[in-house]
Structure 1
């Protein structure tokens, strides 16, 4: 309902784009765009994340030292006491970034009907990040410090037809933040993570989730979770508190897919009832979503010890430590059609993130 009111109040300026391709940066900030990929190795259950992006800061605010460009590799480290997520980070200047769509500078927002076709490069004297995506594959080469990550993924399994994403038709409006899932579960062709000359992880089997955010800034508080099962059951949920002009809104989006049972359901604030309970200090989220025919109950939980320290995220002045995440959560999902249970799933190796004011203990301006 909040989104319906919002769409009536907003000036109707449509945004075109298949959403994974880069957008044109405005002349003035704040504005950002960033990409996120998570790999799950089906041979050993390990998971590695890659995120990268750029912020055009709001120059009307006071100057700070937040980096405008960031790349992070997220890696689990396990011992006899359990697993924990750690990040390896590299920062860049805006002048270090070179983005191309079909080999040319970005001069227009992407076409909804066209497949992704772009390269993103950030390079300085000590760090290097290269990402390429097209209709048939995505690949990346990252190296900074003594760590490196290389990988190749198959063509995307899209969220929906014709460039549809989690937001539905609302993504055509100039909201302060947009979220798009490009691929629910691309296949891993190969990947390799190294420290120095040592190969820490490598594999040729598994799945990858790919998504993108763009807008003015991450919200002041949010949750996010994503999971993929060995039999290709997938879900993604995201939501939080954002300020649109004078209007504060709380909204959540949820999608669930089970191809073996031909189940594909999406829930939006404008066509569904969605309630969310969560606690970053107890490591859980409980989501109930009800639409005209289907409803979903989602329960996600993780040990607090498995969460990372504060990770970087884009804000109006640059990248700042703003969230905590784990790749060791578990999810239980119930799916109903007309109040009759039609599917129940338990997923392990699930990603769970608390951001902004939802972070237990908060995050300082310096990385912890």
Structure 2
């Protein structure tokens, strides 16, 4: 965050992704059986006073294509929705943040978000003057599991519902100058196992999930 890091205390929640694909090793022992292996780890940090009233979080990895996506956003302040989006591929090292990835009331000239926890879908389009990213996600409705979330008075059980079987489709666009013609950089899935199955993570939290409080 550089020189504006001291302003983070004014926000109810801060989110910083350290890595989307760090090499990791694990050892797991259960019921007298030990398993060892390796993989890639997503490492992030959250700090603040509380998770927001409603949010979306997602993380995707396409190992064979070298693509990773992470995004989080929702109700930042009353009347304001803000998102942070990072996309990495051999062709793109892109980040989107406010003032582009923000909506004040119904005013959001650089971003559009549609989410439906009942259907398990998220459609997001975010752009700057010269870059545009379109993300479409879908997870089977029966694949979501309840998770606790940190609020001002402590962790609340099942305040978020997350799936690890989401499909993610991305298209990235670029133009040389504002108001120029958009040119497709790349498109395709992001969030697949080596066998081609869906494995992206998608979470609806708080008021963004129809199951919270039910």
Q: TM-score, normalised by structure 2?
A: 0.82
Q: What residue in structure 1 maps to residue 195 of structure 2?
A: none
Hey, what's the Cα distance between the residues in 2 that align with 1:302 and 1:332? 12
Give the whole-Å Cα distance in 2 for the aligned partners of 1:207 and 1:224: 19
Q: Contact (CA 8 Å) 1:177, 1:215: kept in 2 or not?
A: yes
Q: Match for residue 186 of structure 2?
A: 343
1:286 maps onto 2:123 in alignment: yes
Q: 2:72 maps to what in 1? A: 238
1:314 to 128, 142, 150: 150
Give how far 1:305 is off: 1.2
Question: Structure 2: how far apart are the matches of 1:295 and 1:175?
Answer: 26
Equivalent residue for 1:192?
27
Q: Aligned partners of 2:4, 2:16: CA distance in 1, in Å?
A: 16
Based on CA coordinates, which of the two structures has the bigger radius of gyration?
A: 1
Q: Partners in 1 of 2:17 and 2:213 — Cα distance?
A: 26
How far does the alpha carbon of each residue in 1:43-101 deviate from its partner, in whole angstroms, 9 at most, with x for none? Answer: xxxxxxxxxxxxxxxxxxxxxxxxxxxxxxxxxxxxxxxxxxxxxxxxxxxxxxxxxxx
Is the CA contact 1:15–1:174 (under 8 Å) kept in the aligned structure 2? no
RMSD between superposed Cα atoms in Å: 1.9
- Which of structure 1's runs of 4+ aligned residues deviate more than 6 A? none
Q: Report the Cα distance in structure 1 between the residues aligned to 2:205 and 2:51, rounded to whole angstroms.
A: 9
- Stretches of structure 2 that go unaligned for 5 or more consecutive residues are 102-109, 176-181, 193-198
The answer to whether the aligner puts 1:224 opposite 2:57 as a matched pair is: yes
| Alignment-derived partner of residue 87 in structure 2 | 256
TM-score of the superposed pair, with normalisation by structure 1: 0.49
Q: How far apart are the structure 1 equivalents of 2:133 and 2:200?
A: 17
State the Cα deviation string for residues 87-144 of structure 1 (Å, max 9, x = none). Answer: xxxxxxxxxxxxxxxxxxxxxxxxxxxxxxxxxxxxxxxxxxxxxxxxxxxxxxxxxx
Q: Which is strand-richer, 1 or 2? A: 2
